[in-house]
Each structure stands twice: as structure tokens, then as C-alpha cells.
Structure 1
């Protein structure tokens, strides 16, 4: 019983520490969205469409992208873009997905190779002069989570 209480206390302290760190980082002023280099900012001007992240920052050819904004339990990593245009984009990478067993806080992340496609550009409400991709499609090229189809598509947020 004491071991369980200690683990719970340690988990709560870690969660509070992470929350404090995120709060502090998000309060710091930024001149550009995180992960945006001058090269990416320039590319955004000519790319035609952007990928909007969880914090409503425009991304062009990001090397990572969070799919599950609420908890981060599904994300894309190691993205290598071979196409990016006003109408569509294509990359290869991995989908890191938490199995949430026995529950998400102690679950294990698994890597699944994917081809990522972006399409359905539309006007971005936050910046009406900018087009944003409206849909993301993942094609699992090898193993995939048991409950997932080989190809899955999701609408992207505005």
C-alpha cells in the first residue's frame, strides 16, 4: 500500500512539474511559432498551404506533428517531405501511438511506419490570406494498430 501511495505521489509531482514547465514556456514571448526557422517562414510565403498545429501555428514541412492535441498520445515523427504544394503534400515517417495499457499515463508508445498525405486546402479562419490543409491521411506501410484500417483520414482543425 505504501509503495502505491509513493508512486501516486511521484506521478502527481511529475505531472505538476510538467504543467509548470509548459505554462512557463508558453508564457514566454515568441517572434515566430516554435520550430519555425527563417527558411520555413520564407517557404511558407511560396508553399501555398500550411499545416496548422495544435497551438494554431502554421507549419511548412514540419519534422514532427501531434495528431492527438488533447493528450499527445498520437503523433507523427521523422517526417521526410518529398512533395509540398498548394494542393497537396506527401511525407514518410512514423506514427507514434500510445497503447494506453493499462491506462494512457503508463502506456507504451509504439512506432508504425506511415505515408502521410495532406490535401483539401481551404482558407484559414485565423489568417484568411493563408490556405491551410483540411485533411490528413495516414497509410500504414507495415504493421499497424489492431483497430486501425490500412488507410485512415482525419479532418484537420482550423
Structure 2
């Protein structure tokens, strides 16, 4: 009987706590997960997920032959973001499936924030500029600018 009483008291306490938390999160003025706006723009990945300060990012969504890794962000603001990292690129020699990946040090800049078509209340960076700081892939200029998907 004593065990049953203790279980009933614990259950009531847990239900009371759950009700209190639910009421507080539904209170007017408390931001809900769906209504929360991101103050700074996001970077939209290949799977249409918004990211802030990702450590990696795929540039070639179709085949994965170019990606950014080891990203370290030193700025993520309302107008631009900057990071250092590595662009890992497949040389596709003799063809992409048999090619080899090579790392190249880059500086990354994101800019031109605008409303994201999928979620217009969220702003996303629409342009990425890579500056190769040393070696770079064959036939690549030192600075490459890509439009980012919307």
C-alpha cells in the first residue's frame, strides 16, 4: 500500500509539472517554435535545412564532388558571414567516380541575404564567395562566387 501511495504522489507531481510547463510555454508573448524568427540569415543546405555556422557544407549537391569542411566562423551577421576552412574537391581524373579528393584552404564569405522562398519569414544568404589562399583546383580562379539555392 505504501508503494502504491508513493507511486500515486510521484505521478501527480509529474502531471502537475507537465501542466505547468505546458501552460508557461503557451502563454501570450512566449515565442513558439513555429513563430520564432532567426535574427540573422541562415545558410540553406542541399536538404533544404537552415543552418547557422555549420562546420561543413556540400557545394555540389548532385554528386558531392565539392564540399567545405573544417569551417570556423569568425563572423555571422545580418549582412554577411565569414569563415576559414577547406574546400575538398574531386579532380575527376580519369572520371569522377575514379577521381581523388584534394583539400584546398579557402576563406568563405556569405552575403546578399534575402527572404527564403520556402519560408519567407526567414532570411538566407544567397551568395557565397570562396577565396583560395594557396593552391587551388586546376582551372579555378583565385576567387569563385556561387549563387546559393533558394
Q: TM-score range by the shorter chain?
A: 0.7 to 0.9
State which of 45, 50, 65 in structure 1 corresponds to 2:42: 50
8 Å contact kept, 2:38–2:122: no
State which of 87, 95, 111 in structure 2 corresponds to 1:95: 87
Instruction: Provide closer, same or farther for how the CA distance between residues 97 and 47 of structure 1 changes in structure 2, counting only shifts above 3 A.
Output: farther
Which structure is larger by alpha-carbon Rg, 1 or 2? 2
Structure 1 residue 146, shift from structure 2 partner: 1.9
Aligned residues: 116
Listed one character per residue, the Cα deviations across residues 77-124 of structure 1 (whole Å, up to 9, x for unaligned) are: 000000001110000000000001111111000000000000000000
Instruction: Provide closer, same or farther for how the CA distance between residues 123 and 46 of structure 1 changes in structure 2, counting only shifts above 3 A.
Output: closer
Structure 1 residue 145, shift from structure 2 partner: 1.0
RMSD: 1.5
Q: With structure 2 as the length reference, what TM-score do the two structures score? A: 0.75
Unaligned runs of 5+ in 1: 1-40
Partner in structure 1 of residue 123 of structure 2: 131
Q: Give runs of aligned pairs for residues 3-14 of structure 1, distance below 5 A.
A: none
Instruction: Provide closer, same or farther for how the CA distance between residues 133 and 153 of structure 1 changes in structure 2, counting only shifts above 3 A.
Output: same
Listed one character per residue, the Cα deviations across residues 38-82 of structure 1 (whole Å, up to 9, x for unaligned) are: xxx9xx955410000001000000000000000000000000000
State which of 136, 141, 144 in structure 1 corresponds to 2:136: 144
8 Å contact kept, 1:144–1:150: yes
State which of 56, 62, 66 in structure 2 corresponds to 1:70: 62
Instruction: Provide closer, same or farther for how the CA distance between residues 59 and 114 of structure 1 changes in structure 2, counting only shifts above 3 A.
Output: same
